[in-house]
Structures are given as structure tokens and as C-alpha cells.
């Protein structure tokens, strides 16, 4: 079970306290723009410290002055694991490049690998398919499926496009209202 307290921003209640008990390794939370999806992920992250959650933001937060390998080394020294995950994600050739030399889709996938290498008990993905073309969305879904199967880490994805993730057989949740809360569960 994953829970969170009331989530506030600038003295305004954005997301009511709640919990999820996903029956699948992947859960997808959708909701309209500004409803509080990212705020919810931050609340989950802060409230579930013992799970060592790892939040991968919509915009990759790779360190631009470091190579891909050095970005991965920030959370894991094992270069054999780096190579394993770069191969699983179809990115072995980018290890020596810097983030500015990669497409946004590649940067997102590297950020997900870095999240996995941090050995979280819960991986939180904030809009991972945003602004990706259909081919890269398909590649991302394959990568998330591989990450889930290989690492056995539960994954929560927030998105505007829940149908993008149907191949993962997730449990779907909808975030809505003011303040926001989980308003329905879709199986």
C-alpha cells in the first residue's frame, strides 16, 4: 500500500490524503492539467520514505556537464549494471555522450534507468510519454515493461494519456476534484 498526507502548496490544499493498493506492478494515475498529479507524486515520495521511492520528473534532471555513464554513477557505481540497463533500453551507444547530445526521449529513458539504479522500492514516473512521438511512446512502454519485470519494482505513472500504457495491464486511477482526490478506480 502507498499512502500520502494532505498535500499543500502556498497555503492551499491541492490533494487530499489517501492511499492506493495497486493489484498490478504498474499503476497509472490520470487527471486533467493542474489537478495535482505531480503534487501527488511528491506527497507519495515524502510520505513513503521507508520504500526509498524515486521520482523521475517530466523534464529529465540529468546533470548536463556529466556523461550518461557519470549521470548513472551518481546513484550506482556498478558499470556492469549501467551497461545492462543501457542495453535493455536500447541505448548502449550513448554511454559517453552528455545529455545535450541526446534527444528528449533518450534523456527520459536515461532518467528512468538512473531511477532504477537507485534501487528504489517504488518508482514514480511523472508524464514519461509527454511530447514523445508514437514510435518513442511505444519504445518507452517496452522499456517500462522491461524495467518492471527485471527490477520487480512497483511503478506509478501519472499521465494525461492513460491509453498509452494499456499494454502494461495497469490498474488505472483517476485524480479529480478540488482539492483533488482519487475519484475512481478503473480496472
Q: Is residue 157 part of a domain?
A: yes
CA distance 92 to 19: 38
Kindly report the CATH number assigned to the domain that includes residue 124: 3.40.50.300
CA distance 149 to 164: 18
* Residue 82 vs residue 161, higher pLDDT: 82
Residue 28 · residue 162 · CB < 8 Å? yes
Q: Is residue 96 part of a domain?
A: no
Q: Is residue 136 part of a domain?
A: yes
pLDDT digits (tens, 9 = 90+) for 96-135: 999 999 998 889 889 999 998 998 889 999 998 887 778 8
Q: Is residue 113 part of a domain?
A: no
Task: Supply the pTM of this predicted model.
Answer: 0.89
pLDDT digits (tens, 9 = 90+) for 59-71: 888 999 999 999 9
The fraction of the chain above a pLDDT of 70, given in percent, is: 99
Boundaries of domain holding 25:
2-62+119-186
Q: Is residue 108 part of a domain?
A: no
Q: Is residue 9 part of a domain?
A: yes
DSSP assignment string, 20-81: E--SSSEEEEE--TTSSHHHHHHHHHHHTGGG-EEEE-SS----TTS-HHHHHHTT---HHH
Kindly give, in sequence order, each residue whose CB lies less than 8 Å from that of residue 78, ignoring residues fewer than 6 positions away. Answer: none
- The mean pLDDT value for 12-20 works out to 92
- The mean pLDDT value for 40-56 works out to 91
According to DSSP, the β-strands at 122-126 and 53-56 are parallel
**Number of helical H runs and strand E runs in the chain:** 5, 10
Q: Is residue 53 part of a domain?
A: yes
Name the domain count of the chain: 1
Q: Is residue 153 part of a domain?
A: yes
Q: What's CA 132's distance to the chain center, in Å? A: 15
CA distance 114 to 176: 31
Amino acid at each position: 500500500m502507498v499512502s500520502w498526507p494532505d498535500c499543500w502548496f502556498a497555503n492551499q490544499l491541492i490533494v487530499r490524503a489517501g492511499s492506493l493498493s495497486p493489484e498490478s506492478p504498474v499503476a497509472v494515475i490520470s487527471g486533467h492539467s493542474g489537478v495535482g498529479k505531480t503534487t501527488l507524486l511528491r506527497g507519495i515520495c515524502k510520505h513513503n520514505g521507508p520504500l526509498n521511492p524515486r521520482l523521475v520528473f517530466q523534464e529529465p534532471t540529468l546533470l548536463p556537464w556529466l556523461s550518461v555513464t557519470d549521470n548513472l554513477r551518481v546513484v550506482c557505481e556498478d558499470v556492469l549494471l549501467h551497461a545492462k540497463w543501457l542495453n535493455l533500453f536500447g541505448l548502449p551507444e550513448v554511454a559517453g555522450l552528455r545529455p545535450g547530445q541526446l534527444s528528449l526521449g533518450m534523456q527520459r529513458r536515461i532518467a528512468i534507468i538512473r531511477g532504477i539504479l537507485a534501487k528504489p522500492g517504488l518508482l514514480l514516473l511523472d508524464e514519461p510519454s509527454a511530447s514523445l512521438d508514437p514510435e518513442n511512446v511505444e519504445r518507452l512502454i517496452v522499456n517500462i515493461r522491461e524495467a518492471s519485470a527485471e527490477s520487480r519494482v512497483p511503478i506509478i505513472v501519472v499521465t494525461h494519456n492513460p491509453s498509452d500504457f494499456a499494454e502494461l495491464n495497469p490498474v488505472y486511477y483517476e485524480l479529480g476534484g478540488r482539492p483533488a482526490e482519487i475519484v475512481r478506480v478503473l480496472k
